[in-house]
Amino acid sequence: MRSSQLAQTIANEITLLVTSGELSVGEHLKTQQLADRFGVSRSPVREAMDMLASQGLLEQKENRGFFVREAASGVVEQVRDDTGPFEVANDYQRLAEDWLTDRIPAEVTEQMLRERYELTKSQLNDILMRATREGWAERKQGYGWRFLPVAKTPEAFEQIYRFRMLIEPAAMLEPEFRLDRKIIDEQRRIQSRMLDTDIERLPAERLLHNGALFHEELIKMANNPFFHISLVRVNRMRRLLEYRSRVDRSRTVRQCREHLEILDLLERGEVVEASYAMRRHLGGALSKKSPITWSWSHQAHEKDNLEK
Amino acid sequence: MRSSQLAQTIANEITLLVTSGELSVGEHLKTQQLADRFGVSRSPVREAMDMLASQGLLEQKENRGFFVREAASGVVEQVRDDTGPFEVANDYQRLAEDWLTDRIPAEVTEQMLRERYELTKSQLNDILMRATREGWAERKQGYGWRFLPVAKTPEAFEQIYRFRMLIEPAAMLEPEFRLDRKIIDEQRRIQSRMLDTDIERLPAERLLHNGALFHEELIKMANNPFFHISLVRVNRMRRLLEYRSRVDRSRTVRQCREHLEILDLLERGEVVEASYAMRRHLGGALSKKSPITWSWSHQAHEKDNLEK
DNA sequence: TATTGGCTTTTTAAATCTAAAAATGCAATC
DNA sequence: GATTGCATTTTTAGATTTAAAAAGCCAATA
């Protein structure tokens, strides 16, 4: 079962396409088309389709390619379970969690990490690269790595929201701000569908993702990439924290409504009003202490400073 | 001459300490102390001091360690020249420059890069890691890397300044904003000294560095790390652009004065005034078209999209 | 008693080789 | 004429070994 990671990932993506109804029963999956869509070559796509065929989601017809099977929906449940997202992500989360809960010291050597997590050099490299990009790890001079005192606490949450309360409303007032109908329509669609669906049943991951997406897409319209990238980055950090928490779904409904309101205002050209609404929206999330409940106790940082 | 890079770097640092007068003639350099200061072990510090001794900047006394030599100042000029900052930085700049000027395609394989720049796997890795951290490179799925359409133009400059004009003044009005005497004194010292020195003689690199440092230190006082890190990041991007440009030194003097003014206001507790002054200060840099002159023509992006 | 100088240990970079995986080209087929 | 299925080529990851560099230790010394 140790097929290539890319193929695994793509198999998941394809499964998603089928379950979300974007690919309907009986439809023909064109290899090149999918490859282009995912930005890869045909090889891993083909491998993925092979896997899905053997799992029963697809059907292969001699010299004609792969087609979506009838009994697709039933099979999906199994598939979802054993295809964890590729392992790098898991290892990354493990490291992040260990650091957030002070189970590893602030300064470590690569060897230490490789032993602890049983990783190869490249695997570890990927993970540290990601942590570096996300801003909570850096190479020390000489040997070793240093993990930065990332916002580990609820206060960090407040700080992130204060930052967002500054840049998101301001983005709408930027001189180059332009409405983008495609973005607005797409977001309205997503937010509406969330309200229609039974929100209790949606996975927390998706709620968080859609929420972040809304804000990240909107800020794009300011046409200043530095606003956008800054938001993306604090959101990544936020997700690192939220990953370990439970979402309060009662608030999600209200948030969706507020999102739709903001879209309404924008469409009517009331940008200044929308900017205010955005500020209120973010302020609301802030004032209610924290939109999530913390599932771990934040203990003393003893292991932290073994250094000196 | 191929001593370890760390030692090279540290040798430069020590030279800087001597020339800046922080270490005076005859003073004893304590190995451990320096090692702590630079966050490394004594080995590379020792090696660096050996190098500097053989270059004549320091003097080694049997069993007593190293001391700053009399004739220090004369020697320095030589030293400065042949100790280029470690090579990784050069290669990184080369890659960045090639990308900014469209001399390499947007999608490349590692092999391509290794051949072009004659790098080992690890060296290339370092560089790509850095580019990733700075936000203009990312790994493709499968093989290869993608360079992102970084702000390559003067417009990017304006966008960066607009972003800064938002967050820097706002940072001073954050609820957790607290004056930090150490930061203020240190920055006043640096800025004053720049005014005292003949600014024409300071290397452009240092002018840019000190300028960025001022703002980055000040924003720290907001006690919201997300303000700080966002500024650091846009500044990194800015440096990527400025590296290829010439500084207009006539403006540097005024900037230093304005920096000192802001410090004055802060010390007198007039935070709101300081916030406004900061906004004006940044707006000034923005309005004058651009604080630098562009040394390359921005040609058509032909080579850019070989992809499809 | 703090600091040096030399020595040992630990850690990482570099080089090389092999295997896996992805990209690509092309004839066969619908 | 587009798309598949297979074969070939290219590219990268993994494993292993060697050398270099940094960290850490301890007796000697000012």
pLDDT per position as a tens digit, B129-168: 889 888 889 999 889 999 987 766 778 888 999 999 999 9
| Model pLDDT, residue B73 | 52
CB A238 within 8 A of CB A157: yes
Q: Which two tokens stand for residue A218?
A: 């909107």
pLDDT per position as a tens digit, A27-67: 999 999 999 999 999 999 999 999 999 888 899 998 999 99
In sequence order, the β-bridge partners of residue A145 are A108, A139
Query: Between chains, do A141 and B6 touch, taking CB under 8 Å as contact?
Result: yes
CB A31 within 8 A of CB A65: yes
CB A296 within 8 A of CB A101: yes
| Model pLDDT, residue A305 | 35
Residue nearest to nucleotide C23 (CA to C1'): A41
Residue A246, Cβ neighbours under 10 Å: how many?
11
Report d(CA A302, CA B107) in Å as an integer.
46
| Model pLDDT, residue A31 | 95
Residue A288 binned pLDDT confidence (cut-offs 50, 70, 90) = low
Which of B129, B141, B151 lies closest to A39 in CB terms?
A: B141
Kindly report the nearest CA distance between residue B22 and chain A, in angstroms: 22
In chain A, positions 9-48 with C-beta closer than 7 Å to nucleic chain D are 28-33, 42-43, 46
Residue A80 binned pLDDT confidence (cut-offs 50, 70, 90) = very low
| Model pLDDT, residue B236 | 86
pLDDT per position as a tens digit, A170-221: 999 999 999 999 999 999 998 998 888 777 777 777 788 889 999 999 999 9
Q: Which nucleotide is nearest to A43 (CA to C1')?
A: C22
| Model pLDDT, residue B6 | 83
**CA B122 / C1′ D6 distance in Å:** 36
Residue B112 binned pLDDT confidence (cut-offs 50, 70, 90) = very high
Residue A262 binned pLDDT confidence (cut-offs 50, 70, 90) = very high
Query: Between chains, do A40 and B233 touch, taking CB under 8 Å as contact?
Result: no
| Model pLDDT, residue B180 | 96
As a whole-number percent, the residues of chain A with pLDDT over 70 amount to 83
pLDDT per position as a tens digit, A152-165: 677 888 899 999 99
Q: Is the dihedral of CA A177, A178, A183, A185 positive or negative?
A: positive
Residue A298 binned pLDDT confidence (cut-offs 50, 70, 90) = very low
pLDDT per position as a tens digit, A86-141: 345 678 888 988 998 889 999 999 999 999 999 998 889 989 998 988 888 999 98
Residue of A nearest to B169 (CA): A166
**DSSP states of A158-224 as a string?**
HHHHHHHHHHHHHHHTSTT----HHHHHHHHHHHHHHHHS-GGGS-HHHHHHHHHHHHHHHHHTT--
Tell me the HSE value of A149 on the side-chain side, using a 13 A CA sphere: 6
Please determine, for residue B268, whether its predicted confidence score (pLDDT) is greater than 90.
yes
| Mean pLDDT for all residues in chain A | 83
Q: Which nucleotide is nearest to A64 (CA to C1')?
A: D4
| Mean pLDDT for all residues in chain B | 83
Report d(CA A45, CA A31) in Å as an integer.
7
Q: Interhelix angle for A87-100 vs A225-242, to 10°?
A: 80
| Model pLDDT, residue B45 | 94
Total residue length of chain B: 308
Q: Which two tokens stand for residue A66?
A: 């792969």
B284 CB closer than 7 A to any strand D atom: no
Residue A47, Cβ neighbours under 10 Å: how many?
17
SS3 B277: helix
Question: Region B251-268: what's the mean pLDDT?
Answer: 94
**CA A34 / C1′ D5 distance in Å:** 17
Question: Region B275-284: what's the mean pLDDT?
Answer: 95
**CA B80 / C1′ C12 distance in Å:** 29
Interface test with B, best of A10, A12, A34, A226 (most B CBs within 10 A): A226
Question: Region B69-93: what's the mean pLDDT?
Answer: 55
| Model pLDDT, residue A276 | 97
A105 Cβ contact partners less than 8 Å away, ≥ 6 residues apart: A303, A304, A305, A306, A307
In chain B, positions 134-173 with C-beta closer than 7 Å to nucleic chain D are 143-145
- Cβ neighbourhood burial of A232 (10 Å; 0-12, 13-18, 19+): middle
Q: Which two tokens stand for residue A220?
A: 């794009």
Task: Give the amino acid at A79.
Answer: V
As a whole-number percent, the residues of chain B with pLDDT over 90 amount to 45
Q: Which nucleotide is nearest to A125 (CA to C1')?
A: D13
**DSSP states of B96-164 as a string?**
HHHHHTT-S-SEE-HHHHHHHHT--HHHHHHHHHHHHHHTSEEEPSSS-EEE-----SHHHHHHHHHHH
Q: Which nucleotides of D are covered by protein (CB under 7 A)?
A: 3-7, 10-16, 20-25, 29-30
DSSP B291: S
| Model pLDDT, residue B72 | 52
Higher-pLDDT residue of B180, A77: B180
**CA B42 / C1′ D26 distance in Å:** 15
- Cβ neighbourhood burial of B59 (10 Å; 0-12, 13-18, 19+): middle
Kindly report the nearest CA distance between residue B41 and chain A, in angstroms: 8
Dihedral of the alpha carbons of B252, B187, A227, A125, in degrees to the nearest 10: 110
Tell me the HSE value of B80 on the side-chain side, using a 13 A CA sphere: 11
Residue A72 binned pLDDT confidence (cut-offs 50, 70, 90) = low
Please determine, for residue B306, whether its predicted confidence score (pLDDT) is greater than 50.
no
Higher-pLDDT residue of B133, B88: B133
Q: Interhelix angle for B110-117 vs B87-100, to 10°?
A: 110
B125 CB closer than 7 A to any strand D atom: no
- Residues of B contacting chain A (CB within 8 angstroms): 6, 9, 38-41, 44, 125, 129, 132-133, 135, 140-142, 151, 159-160, 162-163, 166-167, 170, 174-175, 224-227, 229-230, 233-234, 237
B5 CB closer than 7 A to any strand C atom: no
Higher-pLDDT residue of A172, B301: A172
Nearest in space to A244 (alpha carbons), one of A199, A298, A293? A293
